[in-house]
Amino acid sequence: MRVIKPNWVEHTGGEKKAKCPVYSMSVHPDGTRLATGGMDRKIKIWSTLPILDPEAEKVEENHKLLCTMSEHTGSVLAVRWAHHGRFLASGSDDQVGMIWGLDPDGGGRLWGSDEVNVEKWKPLTRLVAHVADIIDMAWSRDDSMLASVGLDSTVWIWDGRTFDRIKKLDKHEGFVKGVCWDPVGNFLATQSDDKTVKIWNTDTWELVQSVAEPFAGSGHATFFRRLSWSPDGAFIAASNAKNGPVFVATCIFRDEWTHPISFVGHANTIQVASFNPRLFFPPGQAATRGTASCMLALGADDFSISIWRNTAHVPLVVLNNLFEHSLLDLCWSNDGHHLYGCSEDGTVCAISFDDEEIPDLGTPAQTELILAEYDYVPQQRRIAPPPSVVSNGFGGASAAASGVVNVIQARKAKPGDQRRRINLPNSSSSADPNVTSNALAGPSRAPLARPRLNGPSHGEGQDNEPSVFDAPIEQFASPSQAQASTARMFRDAGSAFGQGRAVSPSKTGGKRRADALYDDRAPKGRMMGGGVRREADVREIRAARIPQAEGAGGTQQRLPTPVIQATLRAKPREGKGGAAADGAMMLEARNAGRAGEKNMLSYTVGEEDVWVDYLPSPAVALAVGGRCAAVGCENGQVVVYSSAGRHLLNLRIPHMPVEISISGHHVAILTDDCNVRVYSAKTGKTLCTPTSCGHLLDSSTATPFEIIHFDVHPTGAVVIQTSEPAAYALDPFSTSWIPLITPFQVTGSPISGSAGPLGPRGPLARIEKNLRDAAQLASVPRTERPEWWDEALTLGHLEMRIKGAEALGSGEEWVHWVKEYARYVGKEGFEGRAEEMIKELMGPLGISAATNEWRSEVDGVTKRSAARQVVDILAQSENLASLAAKYDSIIRLVQSG
């Protein structure tokens, strides 16, 4: 599972262009676009490619923001793609809903802004009926109907093709804040501040059931009560429920409408529930209703997301502190692999699952078979059959509508007509106070531009009324289908708008880019993010990276260099806090985003600001420890500060730093030319000359290994973990890289593997465990092992552990593996190895030049005391008892005098 927080997906408002809440989001059925709606009254459409693929994000031609729509005059509270992908519905606190369609000849610079629309989504019609904020919207599974709910306590049902009003449901007694359709088509569910979930029959629009008990103790303060219907149609997950004093989401079972199951664990109100659109079936078993299971995501006011399977009593995963404010919306991609979430803090996240993590993911056809078991047939057709059938460009046939898209506008209120206006907390609206929505009145505003949609079946020159796309896009489109799906959508839109041209997506740098439609795009320079990028545990924020050109001759290994971001933050890493190990310290860099601003660095402890400094160049890397803090800048400057803010070191190195690590007084710097530098902040001296790690990234394949972890230890040893997976330590005394663990040991050593011993807790054990988990490799089968394989690999692995523990300054681990080595050589009778080890531990017995070079202890454990223990172990060996007796007398002599 990967958690990504793209800091460039944002809505901003105010004079300072600060991030504002993102109220709603929806991912396009083909997975290529993400629509968001925010307090800034805008709808934005983003490409999901650079969100999900870090490599694609680095390619400049891969557009991030595809379109900005700003026709709403109030905060956008709901955005929902139709399942066929041609329409986007939006609802706002300006009381108006809108339907948007793709204009293939649109695009260009957004009026009054520096933003450039790569695509153009234009409003096709307005949905005017609500007299207060529209809170949520939902399309029926066949897109024949659209439901909208709002703070006027009503539910409106709209025709999915003509957008005529079908029905008004008004039996709720409080604000309606959530709506979802039964995937079978028989029911509609709505949830309200009147503390009920109501179930409506879609044939008669009669109220079937009102479920109240789980919500009796719920509050009224939440923005939303978004609920979700399971993809098999079996039950509804409803938010904002309580089980006694506990905040839960409750499960409402179909037909009986009972609620015996609750999802328990969140520490505050659950605002949104969202089912994965795919079903799951155990591998090797028949896909039936009895074997089907579902995956559910919940977002709450405790700033966390939990993901559940209905077959388990505990969540699969809980992502805590993912946001700084409440979760407001969640949506899944149709392929079932990606979950998107948005928050009141103005940020969004993407959570991705690999195939290996969800091997029981079912197919769309299996879901259809499960739904078909209900054998539901609507009592009447709501939409008359079209007169002709035309190609839809999506592998099927589309009905060409003969009617006109019904355009409904608001009109000015009559004098004295006072309409109730209700806004969400912290939301803003600048709707014209003289214009209100009248559900029954005709238009008074100038109508929106109505596209002339010439269907492919019409001849040229005919004056055709708008036609509506109503054939489904590929359900559950895979990433490989997304590019073709996008091209077909543009082709269909081009035909419908009378252009009749297709657009072929282009390739750049091996990555798919957005359709190259327009030549008047503004040049894109290095962009600066608008906020903080955080990992799931929100402990440290690292800069994103962009590719670096090769060195002279194309042979020098180069690391990706950080992208300049608006904000970077760092906290002490676990076990490295020193004087403030509780993690209360934080180092924050704010880079200048526009002319006149300065690059500022601040150091805080708890809520107290301790010191501030200003940097001549943007910060790209940060680190903080108990005794000092450090910042690396784009121009190669590195400044190391004391906890009081004094400059302990001020360096200008020849390459840009990409990582900095601190432990005690030791500061390690990794630069983009693959060199590692280690300094002592206490003495101001370097512990070793710049040492290259580029050769550690060499691979037998065309793709080099990547550095996945960079750290410095109290001894000054630097540890690098690579994606091979392998780990190496830079010993400052020898200025060489010592292997700590490699795949050869993981797969071949008898003391490795998933069940092999790791010794006492310490840095070496943690590193080896991490790499074992990352490797997921089976041991070499016994039948393939040549003579002396086990002995050679065991000795080599034990010796590697001894050297690694010494380099890391882990005395407890070091003496443990020294004794394990002694036991093994004693059992096998390797006298030569045993004697060499004792001599090494004893060290020089007289005064010589070697005495000054010999390190007599490891982290407080003296080597001669370890020699005593080794001799005692060897004395118990039948083969080496005489050798132990010999050195026992020597040790006694040394100790006595």
What mean pLDDT do residues 781-786 have?
Answer: 60
Mean pLDDT over residues 829-834, rounded? 90
Whole-number Å distance between alpha carbons of 355 and 1: 10
Mean pLDDT across the stretch 150-160?
95
Considering the chain, what is the average pLDDT of its residues? Answer: 77
- The per-residue pLDDT for range 101-140, each reduced to its tens digit, is 988 766 555 544 556 788 889 899 999 999 999 999 999 9
Closest CA to 158 of 144, 170, 172: 144
Considering only residues 532 and 769, tell me which one the structure prediction assigns the higher pLDDT.
769
The two three-digit tokens of residue 740, written as one number = 């700590």
Radius of gyration of the chain (CA): 33
pLDDT tens digits along 804-820: 888 888 889 999 999 99
* DSSP state letter for 49: H
Tens of pLDDT, residue by residue over 283-298, are 888 888 889 999 999 9
Between 332 and 434, the more confident residue is 332
Gap between the Cα atoms of 232 and 294, Å rounded: 8
The predicted structure's pLDDT at residue 638: 96
Rounded to whole angstroms, how far apart are CA atoms 295 and 278? 8
**Measured distance CA(871)–CA(733) in Å, rounded:** 28
- The CATH classification of domain 539-692, taken from the options 2.40.128.630, 3.90.1150.10, 2.60.120.10, 3.90.850.10: 2.40.128.630
586: β partners: 604
User: What confidence tier does 536 reach under pLDDT thresholds 50, 70, 90?
Assistant: very low
Whether 72 contacts 96, CB under 8 Å: yes
User: Where do the structural domains in the chain lie, given as residue ranges?
Assistant: 539-692, 744-897
Q: How far apart are the first and last CA of the chain?
A: 61
Percent of the chain's residues with pLDDT above 90: 43
Confidence of residue 852 (pLDDT cuts 50, 70, 90): low
Tell me the β-bridge partners of 416.
none
Distances, alpha carbon 796 to alpha carbons 87, 88, 522, 760, 833, in Å = 64, 63, 60, 19, 12
Q: How many CB atoms lie within 10 A of CB 321?
A: 14
Decide: helix, strand or coil at residue 201: strand
pLDDT in tens, 345-403: 999 999 999 988 999 999 888 999 999 999 888 875 444 333 332 222 222 333 333 33
Q: Cα(452)–Cα(458) distance, rounded to whole angstroms?
A: 12
Task: Determine contact, residues 161/144, Cβ cutoff 8 Å.
Answer: yes
Tokens encoding 638? 């590195």
Convert the pLDDT of each residue in 470-520 to its tens digit: 333 333 333 344 445 555 555 555 555 444 333 333 333 333 333 332 233
Find the mean pLDDT for residues 158-179: 94
* Cβ-Cβ contacts under 8 Å for 718 (sequence gap 6 or more): 661, 668, 676, 678, 710, 711, 712, 729, 730
Amino acid letter, 558: R
Q: Kindly report the number of other CB atoms within 10 A of residue 54's CB atom.
A: 14
**Residue 265: left (phi > 0), alpha (psi -120 to 50), or beta?**
left
What pLDDT digit, counting tens, does each position of 617-673 carry?
A: 999 999 999 889 999 999 999 999 999 999 999 999 999 999 999 998 999 999 999
> CA-CA distance, 425 to 776, in Å (whole number)?
49
Query: Could you tell me the pLDDT band of residue 768, with boundaries at 50, 70 and 90?
Result: confident
Pick from 14-18, 193-197, 232-236, 268-272: least confident: 14-18
The pLDDT of residue 670? 95
* Top-confidence residue, 845 or 574: 845
pLDDT in tens, 405-452: 333 333 333 444 433 333 333 333 333 333 333 332 333 333 333 333
Say whether pLDDT at 166 is over 90.
Answer: yes
Task: Answer whether residue 851 shows pLDDT above 90.
Answer: no
User: Residue 383 and residue 379: Cα distance in Å, rounded?
Assistant: 12
Q: Could you check whether the bond before residue 725 is cis, i.e. omega within 30 degrees of 0? A: yes
Q: What is the 3-state secondary structure (H, E, C) of 299-363?
A: EECCCCEEEEECCCCCCCEEECCCCCCCEEEEEECCCCCEEEEEECCCCEEEEECCHHHCCCECC
The yes-or-no verdict on residue 180 having pLDDT over 90 is yes
For residue 389, count CB atoms less than 10 angstroms from its CB and return exposed for 0-12, middle for 13-18, buried for 19 or more. Answer: middle
pLDDT tens for 225-284 read 999 999 999 999 999 998 888 899 999 999 999 998 899 989 899 999 999 999 999 988
DSSP letter at 112 equals T
| Confidence category of residue 54, pLDDT binned at 50, 70, 90 | confident
Nearest to 209 by CA among 239, 254, 250: 254
